[in-house]
A and B are shown apart, each in its own frame.
Chain A
Amino acid sequence: MDQPTIILGVIGSDCHAVGNKILEKVFTLHGFNVVNLGVMVPQDEFIDAALETNAKAILVSSLYGQGELDCEGLRGRCIERGLENIVLHVGGNLVIGKQAFTETEARFKEMGFDRVYGPDTNLEKAAEELRQDIAARA
């Protein structure tokens, strides 16, 4: 389908809702069929939604500094539940404290994410990269 389905949500016990709405708008404008699960979404709900809708990617947001804890194991869980090929992107304020972004990025990539975005991300670029990643997996 030319409008790939993507799953969007803020993971864990995080209730920051504003950025989530902006992402929904931008990715919809860029031709994605966005299923937005909103805030405080557990790992399994991302996977449930992706399974039913045959989504090509899961976009995880985290803004309250506990992203690392919340995202741990997501890739494995996806594989376990039958989503071997799904694209995983993560973005937001991923860690607390002063840490070089390259370090954060490396850590999340090690956890199985295909792309890691910091707070000042250009969303046009992110949408383009998402499209590329989905095409590469197809």
Chain B
Amino acid sequence: MTRLLSIDIGSTYTKGALFQLSDGELSVVAYAKTATTTSHLKEGFDQVRGTLDPDRTAPVAFSSSARGGLAIAAIGLVPDLTLKIAKQAALSAGGKVVSVHAYKLGKDQRDELVALKPDILLLAGGTDGGNESFVRFNATQLAKLPARMVGQELPTVIYAGNAIIREDVAEELRAAGFEVAIASNLMPQMEQVEPDSAREQIREVFLRKIVHGKGLDEIVAEVGSEPLPTPLAVLNLTEALRNDVPAFGDFILIDMGGATTDVYSAGETIEQELRVMLRGVRDPEVKRSVEGDLGMRVSAGVAAHTAQAYLRQALGAERHVAFEAYMTRLASAPEYLPQAGNEEDAFDRALASACIHHAILRHAGTWKRVFTAAGETFLQYGKDLRQVRKVIGSGGYLSAIADFTPAEAILPTDAQRSEIIHLIPERFTYYRDNGYLLPLLGNLVGNWRKPAVACAVACLREEGETCLRVPEITSTVSNQSNHC
């Protein structure tokens, strides 16, 4: 019998669980959490560790959300091609994308980069042997930055563009004072997407930059292992679940926190049908999206603004006014939790629905209807999630609230539906991570993959099946209607 300790240092709470591994099966022995000690992370970490494992003998795996992840500025050439892939690579590595830049960097963009102080500049553009001029131009523009950033830490440049010129670009930027890491081209050929090498470089920079200071290096020295970025831990778990338990099928995982709403989907992009043309770069089989304007506490005010139309419709004009007042109160007290059953509890519920609504609709692919000489045709952008049959809820709010279901929330409104067809699940079973264990199990995937995945499946609580009344798309295209 082995005991394993997993700890996640979040932006608000440091959480941990002690697991017991016997006969290849993991079970939870105890759970603890404390407020994150932002100035010295080790204090909160030690408190959780001391509570769960006073002898300090269990091996430790840990993650850190580290200010919501490394701040990454993504620079590409064409918005729908290398820039889109760069953004996706940064997100899937657990980063926080602070700005995106297409084509040529001008003075305004340089000013923006100086102000945003990203940790990483992910520089992409051009296929291998393809465009050089834009990429060289941007490297030269970036080389002007250090003179403006005296006294602050320079971002690390990860170059993931046209391989032919990578030595030239690295040389120029190193001469300007940057630390430069080289990754394989994100798009070596048209529409061939290879984000893994850039992701690995981002992870290495994360370890170098995040571990220093704030006490993380002391934790590393003591426990003998390095932290994962929290979102990467969740993504690793998602990928492992996808690969190791094929019977689980396609699924969506919503991890809704105070600051962001993250959506993970596991499933193929293509549900090829007659008269559907796939457009643009294909989404990866396991995709992560992060919505920084949708969250339950730190981002509640912004979310209320983003989702204004949705909330006003859901609450009615009169209650919406009271809701806005509640948002103002939350802004000054983000740790506030309402009493179950009162009006504010209902407002939290509406806010959660609104965040899920927008996060899912942004994540899911769409069909645009076009009429051609050959009749009605659909252009598909992004992932078709109609066949997904499982939706998992995790994060502080979704883990805690047993009778919340995202079912109605993911339906597009009539106004949204009139413009475009959203490829959301038609019916699904909702599962709740009621112990809020998924990020902690993500930490264990590296060394104890099989038991961690099995435990993740076992810890999901089935909350019921939903059939959404998604209107049938058209008889000419879809022969699947909702039989339930």
Whether A1 sits at the interface, judged by CB under 8 Å, is yes
B377–A51 contact, CB under 8 A?
no
B64-72, B125-133, B196-204, B425-433: which one contacts chain A? B125-133
Contact of A54 among B80, B82, B129, B372 (CB under 8 A): B129
Q: Mark contacts of B174-209 with chain A using CB atoms, 8 A cut-off: 1 yes-contact digit, 0 otherwise.
A: 000000000000010110000000000000000000
Name the distance in Å between B351's Cβ and chain A's nearest Cβ: 37
Contact of B372 among A15, A38, A49 (CB under 8 A): A15
Q: Mark contacts of A3-18 with chain B using CB atoms, 8 A cut-off: 1 yes-contact digit, 0 otherwise.
A: 0010000000111000
B277–A40 contact, CB under 8 A?
yes
Whether A53 sits at the interface, judged by CB under 8 Å, is yes
In the complex, chain B residues whose CB is within 8 Å of the CB of A48: 78, 80-81
B190–A51 contact, CB under 8 A?
no
Whether B13 sits at the interface, judged by CB under 8 Å, is no
Name the distance in Å between B215's Cβ and chain A's nearest Cβ: 44
| Complex: chain A residue closest to B103, CB-CB | A82
A51–B277 contact, CB under 8 A?
no
Counting chain B residues whose Cβ lies within 8 A of the other chain, the interface size class is 20 to 34
Name the distance in Å between B275's Cβ and chain A's nearest Cβ: 9
A51–B129 contact, CB under 8 A?
no
Q: Mark contacts of A71-95 with chain B using CB atoms, 8 A cut-off: 1 yes-contact digit, 0 otherwise.
A: 0000000000010000000000000
In the bound complex, how far is the Cα of B379 from the Cα of A14, in angstroms? 13
Whether A39 sits at the interface, judged by CB under 8 Å, is yes
Name the distance in Å between B133's Cβ and chain A's nearest Cβ: 8
A52–B127 contact, CB under 8 A?
yes
In the complex, chain A residues whose CB is within 8 Å of the CB of B247: none
In the complex, chain A residues whose CB is within 8 Å of the CB of B78: 48, 51-52
Whether B134 sits at the interface, judged by CB under 8 Å, is yes
Whether A134 sits at the interface, judged by CB under 8 Å, is no
B131–A51 contact, CB under 8 A?
yes
| Complex: chain B residue closest to A66, CB-CB | B373
Interface residues of A in 1-58 (CB under 8 A from B): 1, 5, 13-15, 35, 38-40, 45, 48-49, 51-55
In the complex, chain A residues whose CB is within 8 Å of the CB of B129: 1, 5, 53-54
User: In the complex, how many residues of chain A place their beta carbon closer than 8 angstroms to a beta carbon of chain B?
Assistant: 21
B134–A13 contact, CB under 8 A?
no
In the bound complex, how far is the Cα of B190 from the Cα of A5, in angstroms? 11
Q: Mark contacts of B56-100 with chain A using CB atoms, 8 A cut-off: 1 yes-contact digit, 0 otherwise.
A: 000000000000000000000110111000000000000000000
Given contacts A14-B372, A15-B372, A40-B277, are A53 and B127 in contact (CB under 8 A)? yes
Name the distance in Å between B378's Cβ and chain A's nearest Cβ: 10
A54–B131 contact, CB under 8 A?
yes
| Complex: chain A residue closest to B104, CB-CB | A82
Given contacts A1-B129, A40-B377, are A51 and B371 in contact (CB under 8 A)? no
| Complex: chain A residue closest to B370, CB-CB | A13
Q: Mark contacts of B207-237 with chain A using CB atoms, 8 A cut-off: 1 yes-contact digit, 0 otherwise.
A: 0000000000000000000000000000000
Name the distance in Å between A131's Cβ and chain B's nearest Cβ: 18
A13–B377 contact, CB under 8 A?
yes
In the bound complex, how far is the Cα of B374 from the Cα of A13, in angstroms? 9
In the bound complex, how far is the Cα of B379 from the Cα of A55, in angstroms? 25
Contact of B125 among A40, A52, A66 (CB under 8 A): A52
In the bound complex, how far is the Cα of B376 from the Cα of A13, in angstroms? 10
Contact of A52 among B81, B377, B379 (CB under 8 A): B81
Name the distance in Å between A69's Cβ and chain B's nearest Cβ: 12
Contact of B190 among A52, A66, A82 (CB under 8 A): A52
In the complex, chain B residues whose CB is within 8 Å of the CB of A35: 189-190
In the complex, chain B residues whose CB is within 8 Å of the CB of A45: 80, 279
B190–A49 contact, CB under 8 A?
yes
A64–B77 contact, CB under 8 A?
no
A15–B374 contact, CB under 8 A?
yes
B132–A54 contact, CB under 8 A?
yes
In the bound complex, how far is the Cα of B274 from the Cα of A15, in angstroms? 12
| Complex: chain B residue closest to A38, CB-CB | B277
| Complex: chain A residue closest to B131, CB-CB | A54
B131–A39 contact, CB under 8 A?
no
In the bound complex, how far is the Cα of B279 from the Cα of A51, in angstroms? 17
Contact of A51 among B134, B373, B374, B379 (CB under 8 A): B134
B80–A40 contact, CB under 8 A?
no
In the complex, chain A residues whose CB is within 8 Å of the CB of B103: 82
In the complex, chain B residues whose CB is within 8 Å of the CB of A66: 373
B131–A13 contact, CB under 8 A?
no
In the bound complex, how far is the Cα of B277 from the Cα of A107, in angstroms? 31
6 pairs, CB–CB < 8 Å, chain A vs chain B? A14-B372, A40-B372, A52-B190, A54-B127, A54-B132, A64-B373
Question: With contacts A49-B81, A54-B126 known, what are 19 further pairs, Cβ within 8 A?
Answer: A1-B129, A5-B130, A13-B371, A15-B277, A15-B374, A35-B190, A38-B277, A39-B277, A45-B80, A48-B78, A52-B81, A52-B126, A52-B130, A53-B126, A53-B131, A54-B129, A54-B130, A54-B132, A64-B373
Q: Which 4 A-B pairs have the closest CB atoms?
A: A13-B372, A53-B130, A48-B78, A54-B130
